Structure 1
Amino acid sequence: MPARPLRVAPGRRRRSGGALGGRAPRPGYCGGAVKGGATSGPVAVVDCGTNTTRLLITGGSEPAADRRSEITRLGRGVDATGRLDPSAVERTLECLIQYRRAIDDHNPTAVRFVATSAARDAANRSDFLQPAESILGAAPEVLSGREEAEAAFLGAISELDPAEGPYLVVDIGGGSTELAYGERDCTDALSLDIGSVRLTEKYIHHDPPQPEELAACLSVTELHLDDAVRAIPALGGPCRLVGVAGTITTVAAVELGLATYDRDRVHHFRLSKEAAEDVFRTLATETLADRVHNPGLHPGRADVIVAGVCILVRIMRYFDFEECLVSESDLLDGLALGLLEA
C-alpha cells in the first residue's frame, strides 16, 4: 500500500539504504484500574513477557520516573514443552525482587502486574504467578492476546494524530505478535502465535541460520498473516505501520548505529523498508559471535533477533509498507494510561 507522509520528526539515519492466584495484594497496592476516578499519584506497571520483564513507573509525564527492561527469557522452551522452565522462573522472580524495591521507592498509588504469551501457554503458570504475586503485592493478570494488542495500540498512538490514521500497530514479542488496527481507538485486534523466541526455538538450529531456516520463518509468518487478513479485512486497505517492542526498536537502534541505547533517538524513528531489509541481511548472515558486536543490539537478544526480524520484514513485504514508524511507547504505556485515566 502506498505510504503517506507522517507528521512526526524524522530520526537521523546512520546509513542510506483475569487475575490469577489466591493471595490478596499487599496493603497499599491494587491491581487493575483505580476506582473512583483518575489517580492523583504515580502508577506502576510490570509486564512479564516471553523474552523480557519490564517495569514502568509514571505519573503520566515525560520522562517516566522509572523505566526498566531485563531479558529474563521466561518463555524459554514453552512452545515445545508447554511448561515454564524452573530456571527461567527463578531468573524472572529475581528480576521482580529488584522491581519491587524500585516500586517501593516511588510509592505508587496503583500497581498493575501482567503476563503475556509465555504465561498464556504454560500449563504450570501458577508456579510463576503465585510467587510473583507475593513479591510484587499485586494480583497477576494473564492478558489475552486481544487485550495485549489493544494496550499496545493505546500506548503507541498516544502521541500520534488520529487524523493521520488508520494505524496498524505491530508488537513483535518473544512468543507472539499482536496486530491492532484503528484510528483514535483500536477497532480490531488479534494475536498471532509467532515471536522471536518461538520461531528461533522451532526453526533456527544453525549458526548462522541456514537459508531454509530463514525461509521457514518467513513462510510461517506469511501463513499467519493470511489468517489475520481473513479475520480483519481492513488490514488489506491503506494504513500506517507503527512498530513497538524489542525486535523493532532493536532494528532501529542497529540502523542508527547506537553504541549506547538512546530511547529519544529510537522513538518515532522512521525505519524504511530498505533499511529493515539491510539490517535483516546483516544479522541473518552473521554468526552469533559476530552478531553481538552490532551497535544497538543487546547481547541478550542476539540469539533470537534474526527470527524477530523475519517477522518484521515479512509484514512489511506482505502489506507493501515502505516505512515503519518505531514507537518506544507500547503495552506498558497503554496499561499505565489506563490506570491514570480510569
Structure 2
Amino acid sequence: MGDMSTQGPQRQAPVTGPDRPAANRPQRGRWSNAHAFAALDLGTNNCRLLIARPQGEGFAVIDAFSRIVRLGEGLAASNRLSDAAIDRTLAALRICADKLKRRNVTLARSVATEACRRAENGAEFIARAYAETGIHLDIISAEEEARLAVLGCHALIEPGDDPALIFDIGGGSTELVLVDTAGPVPRVLDWHSAPWGVVSLTESAGGGDGREGRLAAYARMRALVAESVASFAARLPRDVGRPRLLGTSGTVTTLGSVHLGLSQYDRSAVDGLIVPAAAMRRISADLAGMAVNERAGLACIGHERADLVVAGCAILETIMDLWPAERIGIADRGIREGILRRLMGAARP
C-alpha cells in the first residue's frame, strides 16, 4: 500500500457543531468562501455523513449525520441485501442527500464497504440508491477502506518508534493495518481484512441461553476471529518493544464510553482517549456474560447496540491477543475524515 497520502502532515482541527464558529478561527483569507466538502461512509451497520469546510491545516465540521441502518442484516445467510435493510438505508440516504443540497456541497465522495462488496444484489442497490437519492456510492475494496481509515485517524497514534497497529471493526469486516510512523505520514508495512464484523459475527455465532450459553457463544466468536487473522498474526514482528494500538469503530468508542461511565455519548471525551488494555478486557468479559436487556440498560450501549457489542468485544480481544499493547487508543474518526483530507488536498489551490 505504501504511504497513506502524498500530502504533508496535517493536524485535525477542533471539530465544531453545525453552524457554530470554530474556536480561534483564523483570519478570513482565500479559503473564507470555500465550498463545503462531504464524505459519506455506508457500512454494513451504519450510514455516516460528514460535511466540512477547510480550516487551517485541517477542517471544521458544519454538519453530520449518523444512523444505524443494518444494511447487512441477514446477509450471511442469504448473500443478498434484504428489502427491509435496503428501505432503511434508502431512508437514511435521502436525509443525507437533503443535507448535501442544503449545505451547497460541491465536492463529495460516498463509499460503500463490506455489505455491498459481498451481496449478490450490491450493484443493484447502488443503482437504485443513485436513482432515488442522487447519491453515487463507490463500492471500495478492503484495501482502500483500510487506507482511508488510517489516513483519517493516524494523528491519534501515541508517539513511539516501533510499528503501530490500527484497526477498524466494522459491521461486516475488520481491517487491520500495521504502520511505520517514523515519517510525516504513516507508511503501511502490512494489512489484513478479516471477514468478520459485529453484524456478520453476531449472526454466525452469537446468542446462547443463560450466562454459560452466552460465554460459550463468546468463545466461539473469539475462535472464528482468531482463525481469520492467523495468517496476519504470523507475519507480525515479534521484537516490538512497546506495541501501540489504535482503534476506530463503534465498538471501541462504545467501550471507551463505558470505561468513562458516561451517561450519554460525548465525542470530545472519547476521541483521543487512551484506555488500559486490561480495562477493555474486563469490560468485554462483563458484557459477554450479560443478557441483551442488561446490556441495553447501559447508557452508552442502549437497544441499538446491545445485541452487536459482544461480537465487537470478541474481535477486540482477539486483536489484543495478537498485538499485546498495554494501552489502546480510541479514535472517533476514520474513513470519512480520510475522504475529506483527500478531497481537500486535491482541491487546494
Q: How does the TM-score come out when normalised to structure 2?
A: 0.81
C-alpha displacement of 1:55? 0.4
Q: Which amino acid aligns with 2:205?
A: Y
- Which stretch shifts more, 53-62 or 91-100? 53-62
CA distance in 1, matches of 2:303, 2:162: 35
Mapped pair 1:55 → 2:36: no
Mapped pair 1:339 → 2:338: no
| Compared CA separation, residues 207 and 296, structure 1 to 2 (3 A) | farther
1:216 counterpart SS class: helix
C-alpha displacement of 1:115? 0.4
Give deviations 1:138-193, integer Å, cap 9, x for gaps. 43211111110110000111355776563211000111000112122341322110
Q: What residue in structure 1 maps to residue 260 of structure 2?
A: 256
Matches of residues 2-17 of structure 1 in structure 2 within 5 Å? Answer: none
CA distance in 1, matches of 2:157, 2:311: 29
C-alpha displacement of 1:207? 4.9
C-alpha displacement of 1:210? 2.4
Q: Is contact 2:163–2:240 with CA below 8 Å preserved after alignment? A: no
Q: What residue in structure 2 maps to residue 185 of structure 1?
A: 186
Q: What residue in structure 1 maps to residue 28 of structure 2?
A: none
| Compared CA separation, residues 186 and 109, structure 1 to 2 (3 A) | farther
Q: What residue in structure 2 maps to residue 194 of structure 1?
A: 196
Mapped pair 1:308 → 2:312: yes
Q: What residue in structure 2 maps to residue 85 of structure 1?
A: 82
Q: Is contact 1:207–1:288 with CA below 8 Å preserved after alignment? A: no
Q: What residue in structure 1 maps to residue 9 of structure 2?
A: none
RMSD (CA atoms): 2.0
Structure ranking higher on relative contact order (CA contacts 8 Å, 6+ apart): 1
Which protein has the bigger strand share? 2
| Compared CA separation, residues 142 and 89, structure 1 to 2 (3 A) | same
Matches of residues 123-162 of structure 1 in structure 2 within 5 Å? Answer: 123-158=120-155, 160=157
2:105 counterpart SS class: coil
| Compared CA separation, residues 148 and 234, structure 1 to 2 (3 A) | farther
Q: Which amino acid aligns with 2:320?
A: M
Q: What residue in structure 2 maps to residue 290 of structure 1?
A: 294
CA distance in 2, matches of 1:162, 1:106: 37
Q: Is contact 2:71–2:115 with CA below 8 Å preserved after alignment? A: yes
Q: What residue in structure 2 maps to residue 20 of structure 1?
A: none
| Compared CA separation, residues 58 and 164, structure 1 to 2 (3 A) | farther
Q: Is contact 2:37–2:340 with CA below 8 Å preserved after alignment? A: yes
Q: Which amino acid aligns with 2:121?
A: N
> Which residue among 203, 206, 210 is the counterpart of 2:205?
203
C-alpha displacement of 1:318? 2.6
Q: Which runs of 5 or more residues in structure 1 are unaligned?
A: 1-38
Q: Which amino acid aligns with 2:186?
A: D
Give deviations 1:94-127, integer Å, cap 9, x for gaps. 0111111111111112111100010010010123
| Compared CA separation, residues 161 and 325, structure 1 to 2 (3 A) | closer
1:158 counterpart SS class: helix
- Which stretch shifts more, 81-90 or 61-70? 61-70
> Which residue among 233, 237, 261 is the counterpart of 2:236?
233
Aligned residues with identical type, % of pairs: 32
Mapped pair 1:243 → 2:257: no
C-alpha displacement of 1:298? 3.9
| Compared CA separation, residues 298 and 151, structure 1 to 2 (3 A) | farther
CA distance in 1, matches of 2:257, 2:209: 23
Mapped pair 1:113 → 2:110: yes
Q: Is contact 1:180–1:186 with CA below 8 Å preserved after alignment? A: no
Q: What residue in structure 1 maps to residue 40 of structure 2?
A: 46
C-alpha displacement of 1:74? 0.1
1:320 counterpart SS class: coil
Q: Is contact 1:316–1:322 with CA below 8 Å preserved after alignment? A: no
| Compared CA separation, residues 84 and 175, structure 1 to 2 (3 A) | same
Q: Is contact 1:154–1:186 with CA below 8 Å preserved after alignment? A: no
Q: Is contact 1:256–1:296 with CA below 8 Å preserved after alignment? A: no
C-alpha displacement of 1:45? 1.0
Q: Is contact 1:51–1:74 with CA below 8 Å preserved after alignment? A: yes
C-alpha displacement of 1:269? 0.7
CA distance in 1, matches of 2:247, 2:285: 19
CA distance in 2, matches of 1:320, 1:245: 19
CA distance in 2, matches of 1:66, 1:235: 43
CA distance in 1, matches of 2:87, 2:161: 44
Q: What residue in structure 1 maps to residue 97 of structure 2?
A: 100
CA distance in 2, matches of 1:74, 1:53: 9
| Compared CA separation, residues 229 and 148, structure 1 to 2 (3 A) | same
Q: Which amino acid aligns with 2:236?
A: P
Q: What residue in structure 2 maps to residue 32 of structure 1?
A: none
